[in-house]
Amino acid sequence: MTKIGVFDSGFGGLTVLKALLELVPDAEYLYFGDTARLPYGSKSVETVAKYACEAARFLEQQGAELLVIACNTATALAFEQIRQTASVKVVGVIEPGAQQAVAVSSIKKVVVIGTEATISSHAYRNALAKHQVESREKACPLLVPLVEEGWTDHAVTQQVAGIYLAEAFADGFSSADVLLLGCTHYPLLKPVLQRVAPKSVTLVDSAESTALTVSNLLGKKSENAGRFGEATHQHPHDDHGKIKFFVTDSAQKFQRLGKLFLGRPMTDVTHIELKE
C-alpha cells in the first residue's frame, strides 16, 4: 500500500484527507498538523516556507512516498521550495483546484476566495491565467475563525460571507460562473456560500480536486470518477493502523475539533515537536 503524507497548518487539511479516503481508500496515511504554529494564512512567505519545509521533511522521515500539501497557503507560498527539497513526488492544492475551475467555467471568469497570504501570492490568478481564465481574488480572513468557532451554518457567517462575496462578484465579475474555494476550511461552509453566491455560480472545492489528482496519479481514474458523496467504505470508521496523525500542539484538542472536519473520530494521534 502506498504511504501518503498529508500536511497542513492544522485542521483544514482534514477536508483533503476526507476526500482522499473516499477516492483512494487503499492507501496508508500520515497526517501532519502544525497546530502549535497555526494559522499559516496570516503569515509571511519566509515563515510559511520554513514551517512547510520542516513538515515535509518530517513526513518523509516517517516513510511518506507521496506528499500532499493539503493547505492552500503553504502551496501558494512554498510549493517550489518543497518540491525542490523533497525526494518524493509532491502534490499541492492550487493546480488541481485551478484546473477544475477552468473545466467548469463556461465564460472563463472565476472568483477565488482564500486566506490573506494565499490571495496576496496570486498563485491562483497565475494558474488560471495560463488557461486564459480571468480571476478576481478575494481574501476572507474571518471565514477560518468562524468555522473553528463551529458557526458553519450561523446567521453571522452568512452575513460575513455575503459581505465578502458581494465585494468579489462586483464590477467586471458579476457574471463570473465559478467560486473557487481556495482554503481547505471552506468546504465546511459550502451550504452558506452556495446561498449567498449568485444563483448561477458553481462551487469548486480544491480539496476534492486534489484528491482526484492523487487518485489519477495512482492510476485509479476510471474506477473512482464521480464517486464523491457515495459510501466507498464498507467499514468507514475502521481506520486502525491506516491513518496516523501527528500534531505539534495538544493531541486531545486536535481530536476534539478535528472530528468536525474529518467526519469521523481520530484514534491514533501523537504529539511531536519539530526541531527548528
Residues in contact with a copy of itself, shown as a per-residue x/- string from 45 to 64 under the rule CB under 8 A = -xx-----------------
In 133-162, which positions are buried (b, 16+ CB within 10 angstroms) versus exposed (e)? Answer: bebbbbbbbebbebbbeebbeeeebbebbe
The helix/strand/coil state of 178 is strand
Chain residues 230-269 in contact with a copy of itself, contact rule CB under 8 A? 248-250, 253
Of the candidates 6, 55, 183, 211, the residue annotated as catalytic is 183
Whichever of 51 and 124 has its CB closer to a copy of itself, that residue is 51
Choices 59-67, 136-144, 193-201, 218-226; region in contact with a copy of itself by CB under 8 A:
136-144
What does the alpha-carbon distance between residue 148 and residue 164 come to, in Å, rounded to a whole number? 18
Instruction: Tell me which residue of 48, 53, 19, 13 sits closest to 31, measured CA to CA.
Output: 13
In the complex, the smallest distance separating the C-beta of residue 53 from a copy of itself, rounded to whole angstroms, is 14
In the complex, the smallest distance separating the C-beta of residue 146 from a copy of itself, rounded to whole angstroms, is 7
Whichever of 11 and 29 has its CB closer to a copy of itself, that residue is 11
- Which residues are CB-neighbours of 98 under 8 A, at least 6 positions away? 124, 127, 128, 131, 180
What does the alpha-carbon distance between residue 89 and residue 217 come to, in Å, rounded to a whole number? 10
Of the candidates 17, 66, 71, 112, the residue annotated as catalytic is 71
Instruction: Tell me which residue of 35, 92, 43 sits closest to 68, measured CA to CA.
Output: 92
Q: Is 140 a catalytic residue?
A: no
Q: Which residues bind a copy of itself (CB under 8 A)?
A: 35-37, 42-44, 46-47, 141-142, 144-146, 148-149, 151, 156, 159-160, 163, 248-250, 253, 273, 275-276
